[in-house]
Amino acid sequence: MLHLGILAHSADGAALCFLETVRESARRLGPHDHPEITLSVLPMKPALAAYEAGDLVSVRAQLARTALRLADAGCDFFICPDNTAHAALELDGPPLPLPGLHIAELVAQQAKADGRACVGLLGTQWTMSGNVYPAAFERAGLAMKTPGSKDQKLVDDVIFDELCQGLLRDESRSEYLRIIDDLKRAGCDAVALGCTEIPLLVTPEVSPLPTLDSTRLLARSAVAVALGLAPKPAWRGGRIEAVPAGNPSGRGARASPARL
């Protein structure tokens, strides 16, 4: 089995992803068996200031330092359970010290495999207004929509003020479900939970739309790679071309999301 590295950025999403890798391994291998897993995380506070300043180069440098720690620990590949971080990981720069899976590519390919046509996206404001997911869905030949600006702010506030602080509020869940229902009425046939903390609040049982859980999709794909059931990734940062999920590499075009 390959040694899996978790390049953590936000703690709660990374913890959920770690647990899902263990659970998925147990489903495949039996209880108490899983690949070797190393998790490394630097404090996110300096990165948040860099995001606010539009300084993704500094964010990429911090993520690269964490990736180097994973490489030094003997990891064969990494996953980064943080959707927003992929905007920095996609920047031009020195190749990362080990290859990794690309979370948005996995979500888009799963949506395509499920026969979806138009997917709603929830995440941080940086993710919902950024290019990572629109480009991934364009490569998969799918349409994408995001909430309006007011609801984007609500979604973002709940992520940082509540979910990243371990707070799960019924009132916030109701608001998220309302927003997902709005996406459904706008023509979406699934919703991508494009922040690794959102699945803590929104589960498939309560969602008005089928969910694409980026956290668990990433974890399950990582286990498949570690067990030799999927190819080892080649992507070491930079833009993504239209290539199969699980082996993304290179650079690709940008796109703009539709908004309600």
pLDDT tens digits, residue range 94-109? 999 999 999 999 999 9
Let me know if residue 259 belongs to a domain.
no
Q: 175: burial class by Cβ within 10 Å (0-12, 13-18, 19+)?
A: middle
The verdict on 88 and 61 lying in the same domain is yes
Contacts with 207 (C-beta within 8 Å, 6 or more apart), sequence order: 177, 180, 191
pLDDT at 258: 39
Cα(218)–Cα(24) distance, rounded to whole angstroms?
Answer: 11
- Classify residue 252: in a domain, yes or no: no
83 and 111 share a domain? no
Shared domain for 229 and 209, answered yes or no, is no
Task: Report the C-alpha gap between 192 and 218 in whole angstroms.
Answer: 13
Q: Which two tokens stand for residue 212?
A: 């694409």
**Which residues, given as ranges, of the chain have pLDDT below 70?**
242-260
CATH number of the domain at 43, please: 3.40.50.1860
CB 190 within 8 A of CB 120: yes
Measured N-to-C along each axis, helices 103-113 and 132-139 cross at an angle, to the nearest 10 degrees, of 40
pLDDT tens, residue by residue, 54-92 = 999 999 999 999 999 999 999 999 999 999 999 999 999
- On whether both 89 and 132 belong to a single domain, the answer is no
Q: Which pLDDT belongs to residue 239?
A: 87
Range of the domain at 69: 4-102+216-241
Cα 78 to Cα 94, 136, 184, distances in angstroms: 16, 19, 34
The span from the CA of 222 to the CA of 80, in Å, is 10
First to last CA, the chain: 45
Say if 255 falls within a structural domain. Answer: no
Q: What strand order describes the sheet that includes 77-79?
A: 37-41, 4-8, 77-79
- The residues pairing with 121 across neighbouring beta strands, listed in sequence order, are 192
DSSP 118: E
Q: Which two tokens stand for residue 123?
A: 């995440």
Q: Are residues 113 and 95 in the same domain?
A: no
Cα dihedral 237, 243, 247, 253, rounded to 10, equals: 10
- Give the global pTM: 0.90
Helix (H) or strand (E) holding 20: helix 11-29
